[in-house]
Amino acid sequence: MNKLLKVGAEAKLSLEDGIVVKERISKGYRIPEIDSSLRKKRTRREASLLDKARRAQLKVPAVKDLDKDNNTIYMEFIDGEMFHKVMNSPLSKKLGSELAKLHDAEIIHGDLTTSNILVKAKDIYFIDFGLGEISDSIEKKAVDIRVLKESIKASHPKDSGKHIESILEGYSSSRSFDAVLERLETLEGRGRYKKKVNKNK
Ligand SMILES: Nc1ncnc2c1ncn2[C@@H]1O[C@H](COP(=O)(O)OP(=O)(O)OP(=O)(O)O)[C@@H](O)[C@H]1O
Ligand SMILES: [Mg+2]
**Can you point out the beta strands (E) in 32-150?**
63-67, 72-76, 81-82, 107-108, 117-120, 123-126, 133-134
Considering the chain, what is the average pLDDT of its residues?
A: 93
CATH label, 2-76, candidates 1.10.3720.10, 3.30.200.20, 3.40.190.10, 3.40.630.30: 3.30.200.20
| Range from 28-37, 122-131, 172-181 carrying the lowest mean pLDDT | 28-37
81-196 belongs to CATH 1.10.510.10 = yes
For the Cβ of 20 lying below 6 angstroms from any atom of ligand 1, the answer is: yes
Kindly list the domain boundaries of the chain, sorted by start residue.
Answer: 2-76, 81-196
Which residue in the list 51, 104, 111, 136 is annotated as catalytic?
111
The per-residue pLDDT for range 7-39, each reduced to its tens digit, is 877 899 999 999 999 999 998 888 899 999 999
Asked about 35 being catalytic, the answer comes back as: no
Share of the chain above pLDDT 70, in %: 94
pLDDT at 193: 57
Task: Quote the pLDDT of residue 200.
Answer: 47
Q: Atom 24, ligand 1: which residue's CA is nearest? A: 10
Q: What is the pLDDT of residue 86?
A: 96
Cα(148) to centroid of ligand 1, in Å?
A: 16
User: Would you say 72 and 43 are in contact if contact means Cβ atoms under 8 Å apart?
Assistant: yes
Torsion 57-61-66-68 (CA) sign: negative
Q: How many other C-beta atoms can be found within 10 angstroms of the C-beta atom of residue 63?
A: 17
User: With pLDDT > 90 as the criterion, what percentage of the chain qualifies?
Assistant: 86
75-97 residues labelled b (16+ CB within 10 A) or e (exposed) = beebebebbbeebeeebbbbbbb
Model confidence at 132: pLDDT above 90: yes
Task: Give the C-alpha separation, 106 to 134, whole Å.
Answer: 6
Question: What is the predicted pLDDT for the residue at 201?
Answer: 43
What is the pLDDT confidence band of residue 175, given thresholds at 50, 70 and 90? very high
**pLDDT attached to residue 30:** 87
Confidence (pLDDT) at 192:
64
Strand partners, 16: 2, 19
- Indicate if ligand 1 lies below 6 Å from the C-beta of 115: yes
CA distance 98 to 135: 17
pLDDT of the residue at 197: 52
